[in-house]
Amino acid sequence: MDETNKLRRGFWNGKYADRHTPWDLGRESEPVRRLAASHFPSAGCVLIPGCGRGYEAVYLAERGYPVTAVDFADEAVRFLRELAGEKGVTLEILQEDLFSLDAARNGTFDVLLEQTCFCAIDPSLYRDYEQMAHRLLAPGGRLLGVFMEVKDIEGPPYDCPLDLVRGQFPEDRWRFDWSEPLPRNPERPGPEYLAAFTKRGD
């Protein structure tokens, strides 16, 4: 891990250590429950980058999806391992940098579930995120996301309006499927919306 990345990891470790985790609902989110019910394939491998404490990862694993949950923060991963143990569910939990996942995993995921990770990364990394998502998803794989808009905070979270997000997923590599505004959840730091993309074939 290079120095910049160590700093970034330290930043997120600090948030958990200080218990300053305003995005954390303490349970899986309603939008993810809806995505799973209406837009997930009936089977398929799910990747959750920047999973945090990972309630959604456990929720999906409980419903039979093979889930790989990734976060580089110590406390997030410790909590998720404990939660998965308590619930008796099996899932893969990786404490790694989401941009450096092993190339052996390329093309192995059917769904990338994004929730408040894109808005947590530095905008200079948006291209890396798109490349990570593209290489890890199978052709036809779906990026299903809960994205956040935060107009007056200097990030993270960074403001991620739909136009900005769509602009990161070029049309020759992705099909934009749909988006939908979500009712404001006062428990989360900003308004959110759903957006769905499909990876075009290689």
The Cα 190–Cα 19 span in angstroms is: 19
Considering only 97, 110, 149, 192, the residue that binds ligand SAM (CB under 6 A) is 97
3-state secondary structure 104-119: HHCCCEEEEEEECCHH
| Residue, CB closest to ligand SAM | 52
C-beta of 98 vs 133, nearer to ligand SAM: 98
Beta strands in 20-136 (DSSP E): 46-49, 67-70, 92-94, 109-115
Kindly state the DSSP code that residue 123 receives in the 8-state scheme.
Answer: G
Question: CA-to-CA distance for 165 and 121, rounded, in angstroms?
Answer: 13
The contact mask relative to ligand SAM for 157-196 (x = CB under 6 A, - = no) is ----------------------------------------
24 binds ligand SAM (CB under 6 A): yes
Long-range pairs for 176-184 at CB < 8 Å and ≥24 separation? 177/142, 182/31, 182/146
With CB under 6 A as the contact rule, which of the stretches 38-46, 91-99, 132-140, 174-182 interacts with ligand SAM?
91-99
Check binding of 70 to ligand SAM (CB under 6 A).
Answer: yes
Q: Is 117 in the site for ligand SAM (CB under 6 A)?
A: yes
What residues line the site for ligand SAM (CB under 6 A)? Answer: 8, 12, 23-24, 50-52, 70-73, 76, 97-99, 115-117, 120-121
